[in-house]
Chain A
């Protein structure tokens, strides 16, 4: 997976559109779309994981890659 494909995953089936994550995201990366949270501005996301932590319905998941210092210097396109 290339670098620019790592983003919070919003499970629409679990999201109830309460807006808590949208209000708390420090970079305003999230917005409401069709009554659900959506990562409308992915380039703003700083991967702070606040949205994942605070969502009361566990609707957001932040994926991580476990790696060594050398492998992360490798340029992926």
Chain B
């Protein structure tokens, strides 16, 4: 897909005139990373706004206990690191490629120039960021979900190594008891893994379609 079309699809830039989009697109730089390649690290100066052309990216954070939490699993058309790109601060989390990825980088300086000249665009971005803040407040409660998702990935991989473990079938309640959580959290963690395209449901089967993605999540 053309970068201009990609930019036009982003809610941030939906209000831009075609000429402005073209100008913005000229500043976008293509970047490629192999699977498991580090795109950036927490605390480093932010390079700009990232846009995914192909592949999957995880945004993750290590807490003081050394445990890692996945904050977002992203795919084509998604953007990341907009906060740091806008406020000029350091990267708030790590970004790592889950698969080989092709990305676009819109450098902060180009973004800032545009914001200074376009009040409507600035207004729009403030609205989107305010929405994000609201969502993050809700997500704080979801930190438990991240850790359950990681433990669930490990649990599923263990089932593969030893099929007898799941014997006559494994239930959400059994998984929940094993992971010391509630069945509802297991359901949400299963959905997260499904959205990450690591597993698929086929009636009574939980098919591990991408062991590599599951292992990456499990290793966090």
Contacts and interface: CB of A to CB of B under 8 A. Distances in A.
Interface of A: 1, 6, 9, 46-47, 49, 52-53, 58, 61-69, 72
Of residues B170, B184, B209, which shows the largest number of chain A Cβ atoms within 10 Å of its Cβ?
A: B170
A64 B208 contact: no
Nearest to A70: B207
A67 B172 contact: no
A67 B208 CA distance: 6
A47 B205 CA distance: 10
Interface of B: 156, 159-160, 163, 166, 168-173, 183-184, 187, 202-209, 211
A67 B206 CA distance: 6
Contact of A67 (B168, B171, B173, B205): B205
Nearest to B169: A63
B171 A62 contact: yes
Given A47-B203, A72-B205, A65 B166 contact: yes
B168 A64 contact: no
Contact of A68 (B171, B173, B187, B207): B207
Contact of A1 (B168, B172, B187): B168
Given A6-B204, A47-B203, A72-B202, A63 B209 contact: no
A65 B204 CA distance: 6
A47 B202 CA distance: 9
Contacts of B171: 9, 52, 61-64
Contact of A63 (B168, B184, B202, B208): B168
A62 B205 CA distance: 11
A49 to B, nearest CB: 8
Nearest to B173: A61
A54 to B, nearest CB: 11
Contacts of B156: 66
B207 A72 contact: yes
B204 A64 contact: yes
A52 B187 CA distance: 11
A3 to B, nearest CB: 8
B169 A65 contact: yes
A66 B204 contact: no
B119 to A, nearest CB: 48
A2 B45 CA distance: 56
A67 B211 CA distance: 11
A45 to B, nearest CB: 9
Q: Lowest 4 A-B CB distances belong to which pairs? A: A63-B169, A6-B204, A66-B159, A61-B171
8 contacts: A1-B168, A46-B203, A53-B183, A63-B169, A65-B166, A66-B205, A67-B160, A68-B208
